[in-house]
Amino acid sequence: MNKEPNPLVALVTGGARSGKSTFAEQYASRLGTGGMYIATAQVYEEEMRTRVRRHLERRERSDFEWETVEEPYRLSDAIKASKHPIILVDCLTLWLSNWLLFYEKEEDPESHVLLKVDELIQTLSERSGTTLLVTNEVGDGIVPEYKLGRQFRDLAGVMNQRIARISRQVFLVTAGIPIELKSREFKLDDGNG
């Protein structure tokens, strides 16, 4: 897809516990006074319930007015339905894993998941408001031992690349420090200059 980056999409990536969500929430508060928070997590255990509660409490303490929507699958529909000028999605890699597990038994789960990614990219490209997307960098560690883990790692990398392509800003958050990458992107000479 050779589309010009949408000036209203920002991708926030980094490792686990790097400060991605906190940064994205703070960035949203600089852009307006309220918006929609789309949570993609599915809570199956107490540890995850605690994480979700901490995120919710942090948003409740802020001056930014959040409407929280839990949507583990139909992310494009939730974005299209929102009337808010600012949407924060947290997080894309959980959404991706939801779909990968949903299609795990299919013959080619990767193709099904990438269709969902393409649908999301189309939705983001057509949206008129600001969309902040939190994701994870999962390919910097050890190669996963199991096939499902390798599929997830590879799909997350492909998804992040595709969404970064249509984003105006891409932030890498490490140790709580956000660095904007898109403005520093090295452009290879296309041979026309």
Domain containing residue 68: CATH number: 3.40.50.300
pLDDT value of position 62: 84
Q: Tell me, yes or no, whether 1 lies in a domain.
A: no
Task: Report the 10 Å Cβ neighbour count for 86.
Answer: 22
| pLDDT of 3 above 50 | no
Is pLDDT larger for residue 37 or for residue 17? 37
Determine the pLDDT at residue 34: 94
Q: Indicate the average pLDDT of the chain.
A: 90
Regarding predicted confidence, which is higher, 55 or 28?
28
- Judged against a pLDDT cut of 50, whether residue 64 lies above it is answered with yes
Full domain range(s) for residue 166? 6-181
Residue 188 lies in a domain: no
Predicted local confidence at residue 192, as pLDDT: 58
Residues designated catalytic: 55
Q: What is the pLDDT of residue 26?
A: 94
The reply to whether 17 sits in an annotated binding site is yes
Q: Is residue 139 annotated as involved in ligand binding?
A: no
Question: Is 161 part of any domain?
Answer: yes
Six-digit token pair at 101?
């597990």
**186 is a domain residue:** no
Is 41 annotated in a binding site? The answer is yes
Total tally of structural domains belonging to the chain: 1
- 33 assigned ligand-binding residue: no
% of the chain exceeding 70 in pLDDT:
94
Q: How many other CB atoms are there within 10 angstroms of residue 63's CB atom?
A: 7
Q: Which helix (H) or strand (E) holds 35?
A: strand 34-39
Supply the pTM of this predicted model. Answer: 0.89
Residue 153, in any domain of the structure: yes
Q: In this structure, is residue 192 part of a structural domain?
A: no
- Is 99 within a domain? yes
Q: Establish if 140 belongs to a structural domain.
A: yes
At residue 71's C-alpha, the angle toward residues 148 and 87, to 5°, is 115
